[in-house]
Amino acid sequence: MLLAALGIGVIAVVASALLGPKKASRAKLMPYESGNDPQHGGVGTGQRFPVHFYLVAMLFIVFDIETAFFYPLAVAYQKLLPFAFIEAFTFILLLLVGYFYVLKKKVLEWA
Amino acid sequence: MPDWLATSLITLLKAILVILGLLTGFAYMTLVERKLLGRFQLRPGPNRVGPLGLLQPVADAIKSIFKEDINVTMADKVVYTIAPIISVTFALLAFGGIPAGPAGSLFGENPWVYNLDAGLLVLLAMTSMGVYGIFLGGWASGSKYPMLGGLRSSAQMISYELGMGLSLLGVLMLVGSTRLQDIVGWQAGNGWLLLFQMLGFVLFLVSAFAETNRAPFDLPEAEQELVAGFLTEYSAIKWALYQMAEYISMFTASAMMVTLFFGGWKGPQFLNGLIPGISEWPIVWFIAKMAFFVFFFIWVKASILRIRYDQLMRFGWKLVLPLALINTVLTAFYIAYFKASWGLWPLVLGSLIGVGLLIYVSDAVRSLWNTPGIRRAEDLSPRAHTVTPANRQTLGGD
């Protein structure tokens, strides 16, 4: 499946690169900027972007690890029963403390 | 021919069949979408190329493959080329694990390409790999609009991935297995999971819309603000590959919803009285249910406004995530203490109340969770919106 899926993508790109006209010009290869030449438009030219994206990524890692811990618990839940609920609930409570801290720190606000 | 060779050849054949099916599905999906959007807006949609416009996808495909393949000067050439391939590869790969029928129902073979014990996890992992394709594409274009589009898109997708993962925990607790076949089998015995996990389903639906970048969450492609987002610098078939990935992940999301919440490939049992055995026509039911969801995706696109980026993130982190956790805890609580005496059916009532609360809360909380700091001062005073002689001047007068 991986081979076939990868094959389709590669074949399509190669075919498109071979077929089709090739008349490049300086204006055509310029990055998009409504007809202007973007002097400082590139990514490597020191453009900065908000730290919010970094924070969201960090939070995602934390909460996704939480999710990863929950999957085995959820699958085996009915077998572990009398004790599993208390344990899961304690774990969620611990995480909720962190979640409310993040909320109060206004990390998730996009101004 | 040795046994392993035959098996792997059959697997390869099935993989190619699935991929060709998905590609055709994608091509005609673009036509269906344009036609339906046309119908929703009281106009005919494409109807010139071929009868009823049926050759429109073919014309589009030929056009896009014969277009000039532009490599922008600022682009990182290697990543710029690989990114759309990554995107489309993982979108295609995710679909192979979904069962479209019972074992052996496809001319003696199994109607899936691979069936793993951790099927659901693999499915989630594959769908989330789309983030890489989109972000790398946006970064490698070496221009600022794709960069911003890619950043937005990746932040949005990872945020809603959490909601997606957490909203499925209730399902897993009830079924006790991550194999998709087991989940379908459980639903055949106990009734559709939609009934028991309605809140989970709604959260999953919302997350799936955001995860596939479809309207109302299609901010990364917001034409009016970001040109075309991460797609800005792409042309010819690379652009088409991204579109393909988006539509195929839409198919995968529909198939996931069908499999997890709507009884998979099994039809409703009561129809057996009319035509014997109709509920066991595997692929027919699967495709019919998927078609409903695909139609639903287009319907929503035609009717709902795009939401703002800060609203999107707030919605994901402050509503979907906590509600998914609450849903998990309540389901766990019920299973732990009441399931033995009352059975499963009271969960139906619980999930109905959950959805009602979600609808109420999402409306009521919207203003409550706004940050006071980013409001303008005049919004906070209650008299600002009533026109009095004193503030007529500041409001602009008439």
| DSSP secondary structure of B171-221 | HHHHH----HHHHHHHHHHH--HHHHTHHHHHHHHHHHHHHTT-TTS-GGG
Contact across the interface for A5 and B15, Cβ inside 8 Å:
yes
The CB density around residue A39, as the number of other CB atoms within 10 Å, is 8
In the predicted structure, residue A39 carries a pLDDT above the cut 80: no
Average pLDDT of span B240-266: 86
Written as one string, the DSSP assignment of B107-161 is TTB-SSS---TTHHHHHHHHHHTHHHHHHHHHHHT-SHHHHHHHHHHHHHHHHHH
Residue B361 CB neighbours (<10 A) = 13
- The whole-angstrom separation of Cα B255 and Cα B96 is 11
What is the average per-residue pLDDT within B309-335?
84
B20-29, B66-75, B304-313, B386-395: range with highest mean pLDDT: B20-29
Maximum mean pLDDT: which of A9-13, A25-29, A53-57? A53-57
Q: Considering CB atoms only, which of A16, A28, A60 is closest to B158?
A: A60
Q: What is the pLDDT of residue B138?
A: 81
Please say whether the beta carbons of B313 and A107 come within 8 A.
no
SS3 (DSSP) at B397: coil
Q: Which residues of B touch A2 (CB under 8 A)?
A: 89, 93
Strand, coil or helix: what is B69? coil
**Which chain A positions have a beta carbon within 8 Å of B7's beta carbon?**
none
Q: Which of B18, B141, B163, B162 is nearest to B83 (CA)?
A: B141
Cβ-Cβ contacts under 8 Å, B60 against chain A:
none
- Alpha carbons within 13 A on the beta-carbon side of A106: 9
Minimal Cα–Cα distance from B116 to chain A, Å?
Answer: 13
Residues B187 and B266 sit within 8 Å (Cβ to Cβ) = yes
Task: Give A36's contacts in chain B (Cβ within 8 Å).
Answer: none
What does residue B190 show for φ and ψ, rounded to 5 degrees?
A: -110, -5
More confident residue, B263 or A90: A90
Q: Are A6 and B88 in contact (CB under 8 A)?
A: no
Is B9 exposed, middle or buried (CB count within 10 Å of its CB: 0-12, 13-18, 19+)? exposed
Look at residue B394 in the predicted model and tell me its pLDDT: 47
Domain ranges, ordered by start, for chain B: 1-57, 67-370
Per-residue pLDDT, averaged over B220-238, amounts to 70
Query: What pLDDT shows up at residue B309?
Result: 77
> CA B120, CA B393: separation in Å to the nearest integer?
61
Using alpha carbons, select from B197, B176, B177, B175 the residue that is nearest to residue B188.
B175
Decide if A3 and B321 are in contact by the 8 Å CB cutoff. no
Higher pLDDT, B264 or B262: B262
Beta bridge partners of residue B106, listed in sequence order: B109
Q: Which of the 8 DSSP states describes residue B272?
A: G
The answer, yes or no, to whether the previous bond of B216 is cis (omega within 30 of 0) is yes
Could you give the CA distance from residue B367 to residue B358 in angstroms, rounded to a whole number? 15
Minimal C-alpha gap between B172 and chain A (Å): 6
**Closest chain B residue to the Cα of A21, Cα to Cα:** B68
pLDDT at B397: 39
pLDDT band at B391 (very low <50, low <70, confident <90, very high): very low
Q: What is the pTM of this model?
A: 0.84
What is the per-residue pLDDT for B386?
52
- Answer for the pair A13, B85: CB distance below 8 angstroms, yes or no: yes
A with B: how many residue pairs have Cβ under 8 Å apart?
202
pLDDT digits over A61-89, tens only?
A: 988 888 888 888 888 888 887 788 888 88
Mean pLDDT of the residues in chain A: 78
pLDDT digits (tens, 9 = 90+) for B288-320: 888 888 898 888 888 887 777 777 888 888 888
> What is the pLDDT at residue B396?
43
Closest Cβ–Cβ partner in A88, A99, A110 for B309: A110
The answer to whether the beta carbons of residues B114 and B97 sit under 8 Å apart is yes
pLDDT tens per residue, range B90-141? 888 888 888 877 776 667 677 777 777 888 888 888 888 888 888 888 888 7
For residues B358 and B199, the answer to whether their CB atoms sit within 8 Å is: yes
